[in-house]
Amino acid sequence: MPIPGSGLAKGLAVTLRTMTRRSVTAQYPDVQPELPPRTRGVIGLFEENCTVCMLCARECPDWCIYIDSHKETVPAATPGGRERSRNVLDRFAIDFALCMYCGICIEVCPFDALFWSPEFEYAETDIHELTHERDKLREWMWTVPEPPALDPAAEEPKEIAAARKTAEKLAALAQEQEQAQAKEQEGEA
């Protein structure tokens, strides 16, 4: 059976221990904090990879991503080929006043156009200025850290393994054809 007041004594002991320790003050504006590698600061945009598929805007639960585009006709790559049309990005903006930093947009992007940047100093005095356009998102892209190195003991990705197997099969098939041609030439000679 617990002694009456033992919880109070434990709490006071914790308080006393905390009071006797030196306090550590982080001199924030002068000394930047060391952030963990997977810090969620803001979202950076790599425009070259964006195909304006609108997947990020459709999947966003807050509807805070605004995308505008237009179609352009691309001339045929070969003579006699047909012209193609492609989407061209006009506007890509994220309203960070609405964003809940869930990362769904980054996860669903099939072309790796969106990334987490550890940048966290983007406060504004007016809430309307928290809608950042693509030029600002592009600036944050350069603060995105490199991905961590792959574990050497990890399994090879399925895509790479499948591509290698196909390449090996094609190489073996080509070698067999060369050997068959060499035998035919020896037989003719």
**CA 147 – CA 98 distance, rounded (Å):** 28
| Highest-confidence segment of 21-30, 38-47, 149-158 | 38-47
Predicted confidence at residue 80, as pLDDT, reads 87
Q: What is the mean pLDDT of the chain?
A: 90
Check pLDDT > 70 for residue 189. Answer: no
Q: How far apart are CA 52 and CA 61, in angstroms?
A: 18
Residue 44's nearest CA partner among 102, 112, 126 is 112
Span 90-113, average pLDDT? 95
Tell me the per-residue pLDDT of 138-173, one tens digit each, with 9 for 90 and over. Answer: 999 998 988 877 788 888 878 888 888 999 999 999
